[in-house]
Copies of this chain bind each other. A is one copy, B any other.
Amino acid sequence: MDPAQEKRTDVNDLGEFGLIDHLTKNFPLLHESSVKGIGDDAAIIDSGDLLTVVSTDMLIEGIHFDLMYSPLKHLGYKAVVVNVSDIYAMNATPKQITVSIAISNRFSVEALEELYAGIDLACKRYGVDLVGGDTTSSPKGMSMSITAIGVVEKGKQVYRNTAKVGDLFCVTGDLGAAYLGLQILEREKQIYLENPGVKPDLGDQNYLVGRQLKPEARRDIIMEFAKVDLLPTSMIDISDGLASEVYHICSQSGVGAFVEESGVPIHPDTEVQAIDFKIDPITCALSGGEDYELLFTIDPKDVDKVKFMPGIYIMGEVVPKKDGIKLHTKGGNIHPITAQGWNHF
């Protein structure tokens, strides 16, 4: 009776991005007000005076978070950050969010109060109003779905598919730290599970763990752009790792990329911890994810506008599509960059 049992093609064969494309490719946009549909950080709807920007994310316990080491307050905070980050990635300002949660009966009212305290903190920090949502039960575990709604002046929205050959790739902060923070938390979880008497040793890895548990979205950068009147030629937020995001910009813009390893910002703590875990630090930056920095491209004529912006790193160049997407390593080698994305399936 269950059609789901007539299993033929495994979703793994398509991967996350392929699956979305496959399922939604035949959905045309009928309304003139649907300015931007699936395929960017957020959808854009023409509301007359302004553009309304809508982004939505689902967070599933056991896939996106582990309550063994993610305090509920941090989880609530992060869930909001992840969504407003998508709105900033359109060069827009988030204004409202809706929060839906499904919870099993193992969660107490007090636990949910903690979650909402984190949501509240993030709402205040980013100036967004909680305007709606849904609360329901779940047979097992917790899932959350957040929709963020923002606005942007017409003509100021920035897409993924508009990078031009000759543009410069910029990034707003160091990469790879959140991934290592997760590895540290996972390690301590395993130690705890094997020996519940041992206290978790997060050592002096506050920076890395903090980047994982309490990331921030780059509201400040969007304000800087407005201040110096800079309109990036394309933009995306780094949720899945630099490789994936460079790939999205390139494939959607029909261009290639040349990324200088030496230009990719990596925090000293990331360098040290990566080596400790026997991982190349650049791999953490390329494939780690959850940094929530912005990756954007600018016209070279705008280089002076970003040069003195604090914490902006120019780390590559947009090249013709035929030249591919490549990393120029510190050692002088050239490697192709492939999209990783999250393959949870």
> Is A37's CB under 8 angstroms from B129's CB?
yes
> Is B131's CB under 8 angstroms from A43's CB?
yes
Known: A3-B72, A130-B37, A147-B54. A95 touches B31 (CB 8 A): yes
> Is A147's CB under 8 angstroms from B56's CB?
yes
CB-CB under 8 A from A71, the residues of chain B are 3
Q: Pick the contact of A2: B60, B67, B110, B140 (CB < 8 A).
A: B67
Q: Is A69 an interface residue (CB 8 A)?
A: yes
Q: Is the interface of A mostly helix, strand, loop or mixed?
A: mixed
Q: Pick the contact of A58: B7, B105, B134 (CB < 8 A).
A: B134
Query: In the assembly, what is the distance between CA of A8 and CA of B127, in Å?
Result: 32
Q: Is A138 an interface residue (CB 8 A)?
A: yes
Map CB proximity to B onto A33-44 as digits: 1 under 8 Å, 0 otherwise.
110111000110
> Which single residue of chain B is at the shortest CB-CB distance from A131?
B43
CB-CB under 8 A from A48, the residues of chain B are 47-50
> Which single residue of chain B is at the shortest CB-CB distance from A188?
B1
Query: In the assembly, what is the distance between CA of A96 and CA of B20, in Å?
Result: 17
Query: In the assembly, what is the distance between CA of A127 and CA of B140, in Å?
Result: 35
Q: Is A192 an interface residue (CB 8 A)?
A: yes
Query: In the assembly, what is the distance between CA of A22 and CA of B113, in Å?
Result: 9
Query: In the assembly, what is the distance between CA of A64 and CA of B100, in Å?
Result: 14
Binds B, one of A9-17, A244-252, A296-304, A315-323: A9-17
Q: Is A227 an interface residue (CB 8 A)?
A: no
CB-CB under 8 A from A131, the residues of chain B are 29, 34, 36-38, 43, 45, 54
Query: In the assembly, what is the distance between CA of A107 and CA of B120, in Å?
Result: 35
Q: Is A19 an interface residue (CB 8 A)?
A: yes
> Which single residue of chain B is at the shortest CB-CB distance from A140?
B140
Known: A11-B105, A108-B6. A138 touches B60 (CB 8 A): yes
Known: A29-B131, A136-B344. A96 touches B9 (CB 8 A): no
Query: In the assembly, what is the distance between CA of A28 and CA of B129, in Å?
Result: 7
Known: A23-B112, A112-B19. A58 touches B4 (CB 8 A): no
Known: A34-B96, A132-B56. A106 touches B4 (CB 8 A): yes
> Is B103's CB under 8 angstroms from A11's CB?
yes
CB-CB under 8 A from A64, the residues of chain B are 136
> Which single residue of chain B is at the shortest CB-CB distance from A143?
B143
Q: Is A345 an interface residue (CB 8 A)?
A: yes
> Is B107's CB under 8 angstroms from A11's CB?
yes
- Name the interface residues of A130-163: CB closer than 8 Å to any CB of B: 130-141, 143, 145, 147, 149, 151
What are 9 pairs between A and B in contact, CB < 8 Å? Answer: A3-B114, A22-B109, A24-B116, A29-B129, A31-B96, A33-B151, A43-B98, A58-B143, A63-B136
